[in-house]
Structure 1
Amino acid sequence: MLNLLTIGIQHQIAPVSVREKVAFSEENLPDALLDLRQYLNQFNNETNSEVAILSTCNRTEIYCAANDQQISPGLLQARTIDWLSSQQGIAKSEILDYVKTSVASEAVRHVFRVGCGLDSMVLGETQILGQIKKAAYTAQQAGSIGLHLNQLFNRTFAVAKDVRTNTEISSHAVSMASAALRLSQGVLGDIEKQRILFIGAGEMIQLCAVYFLGKKPRSITIANRTIERGEDLAKYISEQGYSCDSIPLSEVPEKMADFDIVISCTASSLPIIGLGMVNTALKKRRYAPMVMIDLAVPRDIEPEISNLRDVYLYTVDDLGQVVKEGNDLRLGAVKNAEMIIDLQVKNFMHWFMQRSSVPLINSLKQRSDELQNIELEKAKRKIQRGDDPMEVMAELARALSNKFLHGSLHTLNHAEEFSIDECQKIVSKIFISTGRKG
């Protein structure tokens, strides 16, 4: 029998100040997967754990499957949290209150809900499914998952497609990118007059650029650590007929004053925009207001900047309040989505339990073969010495029947009082109900 569980720190419970401490960078994830699997397996060579990690701006989740004869769900959770604490250099006391664990069918339900966008800050958003696919691919490449988690991920992708096809969960589109646009307009008004700096060139920045382009900003600049990638995004935007250029990330401090809106989302483990940098920019701007939107986890912009009077700093948690309106419009589709998920959870757990029974089924078949061979050898010897074949066959049948019944009868005769009823039901189902059907 296998354990299946998820261990996560998510936006519903944990603030960004906690989430950023447990987030994994894309570069470190493969090594982290192998290290976690090795850590869990070191306690018993037969555990053979499967692990995958999903790390986004809103959540860090660890998915595990392990042999429960060697490690219980509680112990698996404790060891995983120990590893996470050590790996990220954070005291367990800082994260324990924010950890959510789901086991067995509830773990399956949780992964399905995440994949369908039901657990997202933006209800029904589709970006999370791509992030799960990337997490699964990374785990596959690292060799940290096998049959069970592979099947879980494949079922998740199928359920998400089913929910989006048969419900309106993705209607009334609201995203972090559209929320960023709405907040910027609320502070500065007409976007056509604003100069925008995007820091980073990943998927989130690309989505934001699409939303802001629709409002025809005065200018757009891309700053990225990898110059070529920033230039590629700037070229794409320019080809759409908008004014856009690219600068190295190192030039941001001296050019910060040129921008009215700064939106940042990088994979940096430390802030790249500091209080001193922004203070200097404000003086050059003669304290004209700036909007700064930090979509990164860990954060790209030092939180102390929010204390500056002429800077309006928003994090992913702040944007979460804005997207709530769109989420409310999607709530009507949640009931239908949950019904689809409930059915698919049952189907997956049926498959999962069948797979868990394979070792027992193989053992029963092996034992059956052993008993048959023993009694057949006895029967052969009796026939060879001249015994009546019919009597030998009858004795063979009785012997096999007695041997197969022996374990069940022994269990019934020695069962504790509180378990006799349960034992009787199981034995009756195996030997009587099944026999009548046959």
Structure 2
Amino acid sequence: MVLFSLVATHTDLDLETVGTLSSGAADVAASVDLPAVTLATCNRLEIYAESASEKPEDLESSREKLLDAVAESSGLDRDTVARSFRVLIEDDAVSHLFEVGAGLDSAVMGEREIAGQVRRSLNEAKSAGTASGNLTKLFETATRTAKDVGTKTALGARGRSIVSVALDIAGDMRGDGPQFYREAKVLLIGTGAYAGTSLAQLVERGVPEISVFSGSGRAEEFVAERGGHAKPLRMDELAAAFREADLVIGCSGGNRRITAKEIQSLAGLSEREAPLLVIDLALSHDFEPAVAELDGVELITLESVKVAAPGETQDSVEEARAVVAESVQQYLTERRERTADDAIVALRRHTQQLLDSEMEKVRKAHGCTAAAEEVEFAVRRIVRKLLHTPTVRARELAAEGRTEDYIKALDVLFGLDVGSREESQRPGPARRRRAEEFSAAEIAQMATYLQQVPEGGFCRHHRPGEFNIERLAFTQQIRRSA
């Protein structure tokens, strides 16, 4: 398997193009027959995948499949899609993801939100059954690295984010930012990740009145999940909230944009004393560009945030890069060692099969005698000694990045094929079995086992309350009848 990534970001493209590429991104990984994880944020679309082999034609075929899927989901011309992505392979793909997760490739240097987005992208891929074991290890390690940057460096300690910079800009536009937020009325449109971060930031800044509206009807659930620090709105309450708001934040990313005419009507611009501040954090934009041309409206977009984002001192950036570089090197070393482990297992399996075959001949000729056992003991000891040096060399070559040389040597000398590990395979989505799918023997075995489990416990090794997971409903009936 060969790791590669397709990368389209704010550093190469305008955010409009990135937004269009990202539309339907959630379905891309599931539409191809490759292990893949999609990372879509406000300023990037990246797809991490594994090709079937290191052959150039296989890698190109895998790339073409993903580009076709993006073109289909976004509706963009196939050539435009192909030009929009950079391709990173193996070590370059690993380094890039770790830098992204640490906020070193963000519009706001050192932003903390991206680490959560990396983690969520993996969780979504695992739920959809598109993440292999290798991709899972990659994304989990990238998330841990981001955490290390956050706790060990000055870059992480600042806690800047797209949302915090946008709110700082809005506060500066109204003069005294802190005082503005302590007296402001804010309308939040959307219930996604950026909406959650925005609500938390608004509460932290002491905003006394926050309203939340969701076109999907999730506002009430969203507010309840976050401590009730806002008022969920119904559709018939939206116009009044617009009219009273000092600041409107859009982060729904829906298909429909609010027009300049609608803002003029909803917000009652002709009757307002102070300008209405509008922050558009949606990659696909919640507001039409013409909103910025209205008298009495100040529009802050992701492009505005990118331009106004504060720089970082070179020292803090270098600190973060050092943490990332060390983590990348450790990950790559462990990854090579895992490949070496496969080769070692293949060699040991080969020798074990030869030993077993020869010992079977000895037993047929001489029976299971003490002499046969002595022969087997001696042969196994010789095999262990013979395998010691090849095992040590496998790990040494892995550390040097030369595992492929070792695998080729096994092929030349022994005709061994070190196949793909199970962790490189893409599993299908998990499915829980229904009660009627269990055989009578399985149910009897369950009944015997459940008798050993304490009341309220999950298994015989954990006391009640130590481990909580949903059981199949019919197991309760088994316990009662046992």
Structure 1-normalised TM-score?
Answer: 0.71
Determine the structure 1 residue equivalent to 2:155: 169
User: Deviations 1:319-341 (Å, cap 9, x if unpaired)?
Assistant: 12222x2x324x32222322232
Determine the structure 1 residue equivalent to 2:3: 4
The residue correspondences of 1:12-411 to structure 2 (distance < 5 A) are 12-24=11-23, 29=26, 31-35=27-31, 39=32, 41=33, 49-69=34-54, 72-190=58-176, 191=180, 194-213=184-203, 219-225=209-215, 226=217, 227-229=219-221, 232=224, 236-237=228-229, 245-249=231-235, 251-253=237-239, 255-271=241-257, 273-281=258-266, 285-286=270-271, 288=273, 289-323=275-309, 325=310, 327-329=311-313, 331-357=314-340, 364=347
SS at match of 2:233: strand
- Structure 1 distance, partners of 2:222, 2:323, is 41
- Structure 1 distance, partners of 2:360, 2:233, is 85
- Structure 2 distance, partners of 1:328, 1:231, is 34
Q: Give 1:5 shift.
A: 1.2
SS at match of 1:291: strand
Q: Give 1:7 shift.
A: 1.0
Report the AA paired with residue 214 of structure 2. Answer: N
Contact 2:100 2:106 in 1 (8 A): yes
SS at match of 1:95: helix
CA distance 1:231–1:209, shift in 2 (3 Å): closer
CA distance 1:140–1:165, shift in 2 (3 Å): same
User: Deviations 1:143-185 (Å, cap 9, x if unpaired)?
Assistant: 1112211111222122223333322121334332332223223
Query: How many residues are matched?
Result: 368
Contact 1:24 1:55 in 2 (8 A): no
Report the AA paired with residue 62 of structure 1. Answer: I
CA distance 1:321–1:126, shift in 2 (3 Å): same
Q: Give 1:69 shift.
A: 4.8
Determine the structure 2 residue equivalent to 1:416: none
Report the AA paired with residue 142 of structure 1. Answer: A
User: Deviations 1:65-111 (Å, cap 9, x if unpaired)?
Assistant: 22215654343323311221112211133334432221111111011
CA distance 1:378–1:234, shift in 2 (3 Å): closer
Contact 2:5 2:48 in 1 (8 A): yes
Q: Give 1:318 shift.
A: 0.9
CA distance 1:252–1:115, shift in 2 (3 Å): same
Report the AA paired with residue 114 of structure 2. Answer: I
Report the AA paired with residue 345 of structure 1. Answer: V
Contact 1:5 1:104 in 2 (8 A): yes
Contact 1:193 1:218 in 2 (8 A): yes
User: Deviations 1:369-424 (Å, cap 9, x if unpaired)?
Assistant: 677799999999xxxxxxxxxxxxxxxxxxxxxxxxxxxxxxxxxxxxxxxxxx9x
Point out the more displaced range, 247-256 or 5-14.
247-256
Contact 1:200 1:230 in 2 (8 A): no
Contact 1:201 1:233 in 2 (8 A): no
Q: Give 1:249 shift.
A: 4.1
Q: Give 1:294 shift.
A: 0.5
Contact 1:8 1:61 in 2 (8 A): yes
- Unaligned residue ranges in structure 2 (runs of 5+): 364-404, 414-482
Point out the more displaced range, 258-267 or 3-12.
258-267
- Structure 2 distance, partners of 1:206, 1:142, is 23
- Structure 2 distance, partners of 1:188, 1:360, is 65
SS at match of 1:12: coil
Structure 2-normalised TM-score?
Answer: 0.65
Q: Give 1:253 shift.
A: 4.5
- Structure 1 distance, partners of 2:336, 2:226, is 52
Q: Give 1:32 shift.
A: 3.7
Q: Give 1:293 shift.
A: 0.8
Q: Give 1:58 shift.
A: 1.7
SS at match of 1:169: helix
Q: Give 1:315 shift.
A: 1.2
The root-mean-square deviation of aligned C-alpha atoms, in Å, is 3.8
Q: Give 1:296 shift.
A: 1.0
Report sequence identity in percent: 22
Contact 2:112 2:159 in 1 (8 A): no
User: Deviations 1:202-227 (Å, cap 9, x if unpaired)?
Assistant: 44334334444566557433222324
